[in-house]
Amino acid sequence: MREDNLNNLIDSYGDELYKFCYHLARNRVDADDLYQDTFLKAIQLRHRLVGSGNVGEQYTEEEANRKNRNFMMGIAVNLWKNQSRRNNRRRSMVNIDEYTHGELQIKSNENVENDSLRREVIKRLNDHIDNLPDKLKVVVCMYYTAEMKTGDIAKILHVPSGTVKSRLHLARKQLKRSLEADGYEI
């Protein structure tokens, strides 16, 4: 029964969660750990999943999926924040080239030259995202990778919705300033 639940969770949210973990952790090793820990935590807290019999009967399938997805992302964020605090030194030693060069696939653009330039900008952007304070980085990742609504992010982070918006704004502003300092026009 428990294993069936876990299998269902993996089938339903595995791909999306892994993408999120990967962009949050920014390397495969940490992403794998975070992904595993998130599922193990989720299965411990499965009574909170919508449709588990405890809550959720009043939700449509779409709402239930969204709630469960946000629940999973929330666990991942909390685990990552805790892990991140403990592993700050270790994380700083992870070679982010793996993320920026080795695995990131840039969409092709109008021509090779522009594509190459854009690739360079994205690489620099990823460097700068990695240097953002955790509070800003988490919000950016939730918004752009998981495409979560600011209201949902606010609930997960226990902050007002306006705080999420201001963090997003601040993150974009800091990233813009950093890219402009690199000589790019944003």
Residues near other proteins (CB under 8 A) are 2-3, 6-7, 10, 14-15, 18-19, 22-23, 32, 35-36, 39-40, 43, 45, 55-56, 58-59, 63, 66-67, 78, 81-82, 85-86, 103-107, 114, 117-118, 121-122, 125-126, 129, 133-135, 140-141, 144-145, 149, 151-152, 155, 158, 172, 175-176, 179, 184-186
Whole-number minimum distance, CB 145 to other proteins, in Å?
Answer: 4
Whole-number minimum distance, CB 36 to other proteins, in Å?
Answer: 5
In the bound state with other proteins, the residue whose beta carbon lies nearer, of 106 and 181, is: 106
Phi-psi region of 147 (alpha: psi -120 to 50; beta: other; left: phi over 0): left
Q: What whole-number distance in Å separates Cα of residue 153 and Cα of residue 167?
A: 11
Torsion over CA: 67, 68, 70, 74 (sign)? positive
Tokens 């999420």 locate to: 164
Whole-number minimum distance, CB 83 to other proteins, in Å?
Answer: 8
In the bound state with other proteins, the residue whose beta carbon lies nearer, of 11 and 93, is: 11
13: its two tokens: 């949210």
In the bound state with other proteins, the residue whose beta carbon lies nearer, of 91 and 155, is: 155
76-105: string of b/e by CB count within 10 Å (b at 16+)?
Answer: bbebbeebbeeeeeebeebebeebbeeeee
Whole-number minimum distance, CB 97 to other proteins, in Å?
Answer: 15
- For residue 51, CA distances in Å to 7, 57, 124 come to 15, 6, 43
In the bound state with other proteins, the residue whose beta carbon lies nearer, of 117 and 181, is: 117
Whole-number minimum distance, CB 93 to other proteins, in Å?
Answer: 18
In the bound state with other proteins, the residue whose beta carbon lies nearer, of 95 and 120, is: 120
In the bound state with other proteins, the residue whose beta carbon lies nearer, of 88 and 95, is: 88
Contacts of 60 (CB under 8 A, 6+ apart): none
Whole-number minimum distance, CB 181 to other proteins, in Å?
Answer: 14
Q: What whole-number distance in Å separates Cα of residue 9 and Cα of residue 1?
A: 12
